[in-house]
Homo-oligomer: A and B are copies of this chain.
Amino acid sequence: MAKVRMGMIGGGQGAFIGAVHRIAAAIDQQIELVCGAFSSDPQRSKDSGADFYLPADRCYGTFAEMMDKEAALPADQRMQFVAIVTPNHVHFPAAKAALEAGFHVLCDKPATLDLAESKELKTIIEKSGKLFGLTHTYTGYPMVKQARHMVANGDLGEIRKVVVEYPQGWLADAIDSEGQKQAAWRTDPKKSGAAGCMGDIGTHAENLAEEITGLHVDELAADLTAFVPGRRLDDDGNVLLRFVGGAKGVLTASQIAVGEENNLAIKVWGSEGGLEWHQNEPNTLLIKSKTAPMQVYRTGNDYNCDAAKAATRTPAAHPEGYLEAFANLYLNFANHIRAVEAGETPSEFATDYPKIDDGIRGMAFIEAVVESSANNAAWTKFDL
């Protein structure tokens, strides 16, 4: 057996999330980066690839070239899947090209630039017969899997209420108009899509809430704001949620919350219990009951569910973090590829990663919050 071969689109020198993807792919030593279209500038692509110890002839100037050249390589050399780590507007064309060229795709979130693209992408995926994964990283944490397990197991009873928060502070000032590259594209509607903060991190919050509770948002009422003068997309938003089945919730996300790092947090209450998880201390899950003391579940302990244990590499209190959560998505995706390419049934956990349906829901969320906010926070349903 050999490592699974990966190509990458985007992620050249100066990029942020590309480096994260490469680390995530490397951690478990099951995936090998073999090629990339790291930049639309061919020389820059080759320079970037050299940093990753790739030969120049596997560093391409366009993803179209990449597909052509890789497809022409022998089956045991060509890449098996491609990781797409570009700004949002490139997701769809890159994924389409890869799928149609016969490659599996692991794509950064949100899935596409708009909802229509993501629906079309689903059709393309189904037609291609290839795998598509979406890197909603936070669902890769063991304690998120444990939370999901306990809700599914009925430990919390019927879910009644969800409060999910995602405050960041890095866009509190107008750095997007001052040349900060990460800020610039995220606040540009042509590259980011219809929403800013809500697309970049609000979708993570929506995905986390739905993943843990197993519930779907039915309708929402959103109040989005661009607090920084001149900013073209929202940098903050507050959303009322109504879930199918009657649960209620609040989602609040911000990129102008000064002094906040990346504090995605969720609280869920059901008729019998509650849970609480904070991404900035991800190895702890708080479980609340009506009559007993609160319990502190911790990563790496035997009492956790199998999915949580499978997503952990070290014993308790050898803290694993964001990169390992990300690696869990990569590892499952690689194992899924191996299974389908071998014609075998994938193991339970090999298919435990976000897919296009999560991506479509994320895009529907974005369009719903933007529409609702434009209508003065009118209740708006997902256009699925």
Contact = CB atoms under 8 A, between A and B. Distances in A.
A248 B225 contact: yes
A262 B29 contact: no
Given A238-B240, A248-B223, A269 B261 contact: no
A185 interface: no
A269 B160 CA distance: 28
Interface in A289-332: 289-298, 300-303, 313-324
A258 B261 CA distance: 28
A157 B52 CA distance: 44
A172 interface: yes
Contacts of A249: 238
Interface stretch (A17-25, A336-344, A354-362): A17-25
A130 to B, nearest CB: 24
Interface stretch (A71-79, A206-214, A270-278): A270-278
Interface residues of A, number: 91
Contact of A29 (B23, B236, B287, B321): B23
Contact of A223 (B52, B240, B254, B279): B240
Contacts of A282: 319
A303 B292 contact: yes
B259 A294 contact: yes
Contacts of A156: 258
Interface stretch (A57-65, A110-118, A120-128, A161-169): A161-169
Contact of A324 (B20, B161, B169, B321): B321
Contact of A169 (B165, B274, B297, B303): B274
Given A53-B2, A256-B269, A323-B27, A221 B240 contact: yes
Contacts of A316: 261-262
B317 A323 contact: no
Given A318-B321, A318-B322, A323-B314, A272 B258 contact: yes
B29 A317 contact: no
Contacts of A267: 167, 257
A41 interface: no
A204 interface: no
B296 A291 contact: no
A252 B169 contact: no
A280 interface: yes
7 contacts: A20-B318, A23-B27, A161-B227, A250-B250, A259-B287, A262-B317, A292-B295
Given A161-B236, A240-B377, A314-B323, 7 more contacts: A1-B53, A169-B274, A221-B223, A238-B241, A259-B269, A261-B301, A321-B324
